[in-house]
Amino acid sequence: MKKADIVEFFARLAEANPHPETELESVNDYTLLVAVVLSAQATDAGVNKATRRLFAQVDTPEKMVALGEDGLKEHIKTIGLFNSKAKNVIALSEKLIAEHGSAVPADRDALEQLPGVGRKTANVVMNVAFGQETFAVDTHIFRVGNRTGLAPGKTPLAVEKKLEKAVPQPFRLHAHHWLILHGRYVCKARTPECWRCNVADLCAFKPKTPPHDAKRAKSGEAKKRNA
For residue 137, give Cα distances in angstroms to 5, 115, 122, 178, 201.
Answer: 21, 19, 11, 12, 23
203 annotated among ligand-binding-site residues: yes
For residue 222, what pLDDT band results from cuts at 50, 70 and 90? very low
Compute CA distances 197 → 31, 151, 168, 175, whole Å.
33, 18, 21, 17
| Interval 156-160 mean pLDDT | 97
What is the average per-residue pLDDT within 206-212?
A: 72
Per-residue pLDDT at 178 exceeds 80 = yes
Instruction: Determine the pLDDT at residue 207.
Output: 78
Instruction: Estimate the crossing angle of helix 175-185 against helix 139-148, to 10 degrees.
Output: 90
Neighbouring C-beta atoms of residue 88, cutoff 10 Å: 20
Q: What is the mean pLDDT of the chain?
A: 92
Please tell me whether 187 is known to bind a ligand. Answer: yes
CATH number, domain 3-18+136-221: 1.10.1670.10
Fold of 29-130: Endonuclease III; domain 1 (1.10.340)
Task: Enter the pTM of the model.
Answer: 0.86
Picking from 140, 116, 99, the residue whose alpha carbon sits closest to that of residue 33 is 116
pLDDT recorded at residue 3 = 93
Cα gap 132→120, rounded to integer Å? 13
Q: How many C-beta atoms lie closer than 10 Å to residue 42's C-beta? A: 17
Q: Is the pLDDT of residue 79 over 70?
A: yes
From 28-32, 79-83, 155-159, the region with the lowest mean pLDDT: 79-83
How far apart are the C-alpha atoms of 24 and 39, rounded to whole Å? 8
pLDDT for position 41: 87
Question: Taking residues 58-66, what's their average pLDDT?
Answer: 98
Banded model confidence at residue 212, pLDDT cuts 50, 70, 90: low
Taking the C-alpha atoms of residue 161 and residue 159, their distance in angstroms, rounded to an integer, is 5
For the chain, give every domain's residue range: 3-18+136-221, 29-130
Which amino acids are annotated catalytic? 120, 138
First vs last C-alpha separation in the chain: 43
Q: How far apart are CA 54 and CA 74, in angstroms?
A: 10
Q: What is the pLDDT of residues 6-48, one digit of tens each?
A: 999 999 999 999 999 999 999 999 999 999 999 988 999 999 9
pLDDT in tens, 99-143: 999 999 999 999 999 999 999 999 999 999 999 999 999 999 999
Q: Determine what percent of the chain is predicted with pLDDT higher than 90.
A: 88
